[in-house]
Chains A and B, each alone.
Chain A
């Protein structure tokens, strides 16, 4: 991994306290263009908190987050509101699925287009040609993205009626609709059966190529993590305890003790 590419995400000694609890402690991370990076660690290690700090949902206690599209200068994201971070090009899914449950599958993805469209109240009332064109483009784009994740047959259904695995894929489609350069997936395979997990892996690889994406994923399925990731970061008790290629992580004694060992016992 010694490429001369510049990172698109740089996180410097990020920390987050919840009262007395230090959920994140001095975590560093960088992600290169088109890299798939995994973030692993036992439950409660602070992985989701890391996502929330980078995407602006939590304000980090200390540390800096810098990000920018390939070839552009990095921008500091501390203190930027979540919706502006999304507009900037960071998109995410949620560990505990957060779909707009009574809206249709298509509408869920259409909401993702919000930052890339601009029709306002007056345009909605007068329905000029710009409004109609944009509306149709939104619908078409959303439908296309549903095709990418294999949900186009369900486009009219309510999101809450989809099976679990499909809901996770819908969250991915919705995140893609915001035109991100960096995608955060929080336990995308949780609750999926082995078949779906394999399909998910292929989907992630395909999306990276097609959308020129970098992907950071939190995942417990070790098979998936090892075969999918270019690099892996390991966290425990809020701290980063190791990072490196899958091969390096597999043989890191600290990791084996902290994480892999534990999961083998289970």
Chain B
């Protein structure tokens, strides 16, 4: 007996008939060839979230972002006109990486008035214009106006900065995020400026980690020991059911119950949680800011009393969790090969007013880390066996795993569409098109 109502079709999955209910293959997660296709079909032409506007606090603030999957590195910078722009991080003289410090593969950030190449000292302004050429008179008819930094499409949505590496792209970031994105507009993201950010190198295909965070079916089992014993037995016997799922285009969301912040019965939670008043679902005391009582329609879409957290999977690699007590967690998955990726988990809180609030946030952050360490290790084990290509190559997915079915279907569709388009347009024309 389901505890929460499912759609009339009898299941969430069948509510979206194009998904089917058949067992699925993870062939999209175990080969270098498929990953090469994803780089061009997905990462090279989809809006990617690379940060938040708060990272660019002042005019001249910049950061770099390594986008290995899209075969580039970008500079994101706030200009003197306050506009946020992005450029390929490559010097127009002889191709040196323009902005980096100490280690060319590491990301960096800072504040500056211009970017100076370490190699021969060419300088670029914040709008990408070439302003200085060392020994300019030695060049042949060099017009500096022809050598601005190569710009990258860049848009800000609700304070989140997105880039798109496809110069022929005509869709805005907001359109790309679709109905699920629109439903979040107005949420007080800008108040949540207290940031804790984690990074991990994970030995699995990027999609497998999204899979792990896009279902809570595993939670009562894999994370059993994280709850007090009685509670854990109870959670396992209930299993997991979401309040609601929603799909729109390649994006998906799951709305989940909470009830743990604060818990109905304090003995359900660990001693530290009782004293610090915080835990996995976040600090129990909601911060005192506007915008948390009247939530935008996309948050807790079922308007359920038991609501605790919504998880959004924005295609391709950006997840956002909005927690009832008023904080936000984002996940990013940056592929570095078919079986490795860099995972970033970032917690956003309203700045604490005192030590009590600071510790409540610390406990939420550390709890997230303890869970993620368990999640991350399981993935290597999964990747290893999927890659072994044992005779087992079709795997069932239940109704609570609908977002996984949908993610892999969305990836396959993007790759397929790209292949069809490439077949129609010979490679040479495509390059010409890129240049225009």
State yes or no: do A and B come from one complex.
no
